[in-house]
Amino acid sequence: MLRIDCPFCGLRDETEFVYGGDASRKRPDLQETSQDVWNDHVFLRDNPKGPHLEYWFHQHGCRSWLKVQRDVATHEITDVRFADKEKGQG
Amino acid sequence: MARYSAFEIFKQALSGHKNWASAWRDPVPKEKYDVIIIGGGGHGLATAYYLAKEHGIRNVAVLEKGWLGGGNTGRNTTIVRSNYMIEGNTGFYEHSMKLWENLSQELNYNVMFSQRGQYNTFHNPGQMDVARRRANTLRLNGIEAELITAKEMQARVPGLDYSANARFPILGAMYQRRAGTARHDAVAWGYARGADQLGVDIIQNCEVEEFIRDKDRIIGVRTNRGEMRAAKIGMAVAGHSSHVAAKAGLRLPIESHVLQAFVSEPLKPIFDTVISFGAAHFYISQSDKGGLVMGGDIDGYNSYAQKGGMPTMEHVFAAGVSFLPYLSRLKVLRQWGGIMDMSMDGSPIICKSPIDGFYINAGWCYGGFKATPASGWCFAHTIAKDEPHEFNEKFRLDRFSRGYPIDERGAGPTPNAH
Ligand SMILES: Cc1cc2nc3c(=O)[nH]c(=O)nc-3n(C[C@H](O)[C@H](O)[C@H](O)COP(=O)(O)OP(=O)(O)OC[C@H]3O[C@@H](n4cnc5c(N)ncnc54)[C@H](O)[C@@H]3O)c2cc1C
Ligand SMILES: [Zn+2]
């Protein structure tokens, strides 16, 4: 069981959250027309064996999107913060 | 090396079974090979076997960082079936099934392939229509499949909750008669022994740490057991594809995820078949030792940890008990996890990479055991001939950018949903 320390709700079980995947990706500018740039964004992942920045949605809690830094080889969580600094303050 | 036979068992018995030769050598790595295969799971070993057997390329090494079959080959629930519907998958998996049907004879090694059939149950009229469409598509592609009613199924597989009051009443199933299970370790060992006999060097405890380059080409590998060079290097490392490919400078359309498997205490025979529950993700068969072998959904978040979490375990058994109420009385004896490549469309990749000298076999998600023979067959062909076999020509890495994903589930580029 992962336990995620939500900045609004405190330490909660993984079962309250929904996983949102790799949070290091940046959506290309919508004016971008290069196929390669969009292919990289939509389909390719770094998928590192180590620290991974990822989204979690606190569905059964404050309903904030969070950015979590987790080592995917050990499950150690080293950082949790609101994905959106402005709106996430609750 | 003696052929395995009843006579050989009798002969060896006379000396108390003390004189069996080991099934493969433990060679010292050479500096140069024609082909190096990274990964000594079923796929890597099958590739080496078919390179030697079908293409006469025998100066081959298989490099395995741990022991043979210690990855997903030895961790999976061994369901073999060929009921895939989408072009690109259909011919490939049916070819695999045909290779399975003769594999023990081909390898002179009993892989215990047991065609005990597989049922995919359905639980509402919508699912029944989908199953009918799938069965019809399969039959149009020359792959056997049949729809059976709940009544027929009850006669063949007693013990499920067939009542109308079941949480998810069973309306019937799609059945594939030729599907079944095999002994996972034996598949790795059989291919290893066969490849070794044809001259392939199988090198264990040998981890590929870096690639050696000559300008744009990859010409060798650095390992914890020294450097080795080869004109062609193939990668078949299952859940570690992104990790190894990154050393070659490639990013892949893959995320690594953990899938768990569970085995119950041994019981007297209650199932002589394989069942996949259609209302949630749960599948079950019974091993020859009597344990029920079970699995379900992946944990759902990126993982290289080779162990699963309790929430998924609870979820899998909640599904299992709604289908087979008596499961709640059983004890789970063993549980483990394996790391798999979840690809962006749920289908595999077998092709030349954009880097000369480097070939990719990856993206097997949780369905790659059944693919082992055909995967080795097609990967060997691709490496030997520098062009795909007809059965893997759609498993290209560039299918995503070209707009030709092979998405059996229709889930889009969300790897944890396939
Ligand atoms: C729990 C579970 C249940 C499954 N159930 C089924 C099922 O019922 N039916 C089905 O068809 N499929 C199933 N699968 C999927 C199937 O097991 C895999 O797709 C398949 O085994 C992959 O084959 P492989 O030979 O490539 O993998 P592996 O056996 O994992 O082989 C890859 C090898 O590469 C080695 N390696 C990695 N990195 C390096 C390196 N740097 N240098 C050297 N060696 C390296 C690893 O040690 C490993 O031995 C399941 C998987 C899991 C985890
Ligand atoms: Zn919260």
Q: How much is the pLDDT for B83?
A: 93
Inter-CA distances, B317 with B194, B295, B300, B312, B404, Å: 39, 9, 16, 9, 36
The DSSP secondary-structure symbol of B114 reads B
> Tokens 């996430």 sit at which residue?
A88
Answer whether B97's CB lies under 8 Å from B138's CB. no
**pLDDT for position A84:** 86
Average pLDDT of the segment spanning B68-86: 96
Q: Tell me the two tokens of residue B201.
A: 């060097």
pLDDT single digits (tens) B340-350: 999 999 999 99
What's the mean pLDDT in B22-39?
A: 97
Determine the pLDDT at residue A88. Answer: 57
Predicted confidence (pLDDT) at residue B35 exceeds the cutoff of 60: yes
Which residues of chain B lie closer than 8 angstroms to A52, CB-CB? 302
Contacts of B86 (CB under 8 A, 6+ apart): B347, B406, B407, B408
CA dihedral B73, B77, B81, B86 (to 10 degrees): -80
Within-domain flag for A51 = yes
Instruction: Give the CATH number, domain containing residue A17.
Output: 3.30.2270.10
pLDDT, tens only, B386-396: 999 999 999 99
List pLDDT tens digits, range B252-310. Answer: 999 999 999 999 999 999 989 999 999 999 999 999 999 999 999 999 999 999 999 99
Q: Does residue A56 sit within a domain?
A: yes
> Residue A85: is its pLDDT beyond 80?
no
Residues paired with B211 in a beta bridge: B221
| pLDDT over 50 (residue B146) | yes
Surface of A (1-20) touching B: CB under 8 A: 1-2, 13-15, 19
pLDDT tens per residue across span B212-243? 999 999 999 999 999 999 999 999 999 999 99
H-run or E-run covering B221: strand B217-223
Contact B118, B278 (CB under 8 A): no
Determine the angle formed by the axes of helices B42-55 and B372-385, rounding to 10 degrees. 50
Predicted local distance difference test score (pLDDT) of residue B301: 97
d(CA B358, CA B218) in angstroms, rounded, equals 6
CA proximity to B258, closest of B299, B309, B313: B299
**Domain span at residue A73?**
3-25+38-87
Place of tokens 């199933």: B173
Please spell the DSSP secondary structure of A1-46, one letter per residue: --EEEETTTEEEEGGG-EEEEESS--PPPTT---HHHHHHHHH-B-
pLDDT tens digits, A8-50: 999 999 999 999 999 999 999 999 999 999 999 999 999 999 9
d(CA B38, CA B325): 44
pLDDT of residue A87 exceeding 70:
no
CB B411 within 8 A of CB B346: yes
| Stretch (H or E) spanning B185 | helix B184-197
Q: Quick one: tokens of B276? A: 């996949």
Q: Can you tell me the mean pLDDT for B302-326?
A: 94
Asked whether residue A76 is domain-assigned, the answer is yes
**A69 located within any domain:** yes
Contacts of B311 in chain A (CB under 8 A): 1, 13-15
Q: Please tell me the total count of domains within chain A.
A: 1
Is A67 a member of any domain? yes
What is the C-alpha separation between B84 and B87, in angstroms, rounded? 9
List beta partners, residue B203: B63
Interface residues from chain B to A (CB-CB < 8 Å): 240, 242-243, 246, 251-256, 300-305, 309-311, 344, 400-401, 413-414, 416
- Model confidence at A90, in pLDDT bands (50, 70, 90)? very low
Task: Give strand ranges (E) for B89-154.
Answer: 118-122, 146-149
B366, B380 contact by CB (below 8 A): no
Task: Tell me, in angstroms, the distance from the centre of ligand 1 to residue A90's CA.
Answer: 44
Residue A86, pLDDT score: 64
d(CA B246, CA A47): 9
For ligand 1, residues with CB inside 6 Å are: B 38-44, 63-66, 69-73, 75-79, 207-208, 236-238, 240, 244, 259-261, 295, 338, 340, 364, 366-370
Helix (H, G, I), strand (E, B) or coil at A72: coil
Q: What is the mean pLDDT of residues B87-93?
A: 95
- The model's confidence at residue B159, banded by pLDDT at 50, 70 and 90, is confident
Q: Are the beta carbons of B221 and B212 closer than 8 angstroms?
A: yes
Residue B354 region, left (φ>0) first, then alpha (ψ -120 to 50), else beta? alpha
Residue whose Cα lies nearest atom 4 of ligand 1: it is: B76
- Closest listed residue to residue B88, CA positions, set B333, B334, B395: B395
With respect to residue A33, please indicate whether it lies within any of the assigned structural domains.
no
Instruction: Average the pLDDT over each of A71-80, B36-45, B247-256, B406-415 and give the range with the smallest value.
Output: B406-415
In a domain, A31, yes or no: no
Tell me, yes or no, whether A47 lies in a domain.
Answer: yes
Exposed / middle / buried, residue B219 (Cβ in 10 Å: 0-12, 13-18, 19+): middle
Q: Could you tell which of B252, B258, B366 is best to mutate to test the pocket of ligand 1, judged by most ligand atoms within 8 Å of the CB?
A: B366
Number of inter-chain CB pairs under 8 A, A vs B: 71
Query: What are residue A85's phi and psi, to 5 degrees?
Result: -60, -40
pLDDT at B106: 98
Of the listed ligands, the closest to the CA of A65 is 2
A35 touches chain B (CB under 8 A): yes
**Residue B238 alpha carbon to ligand 1 centre in Å:** 5
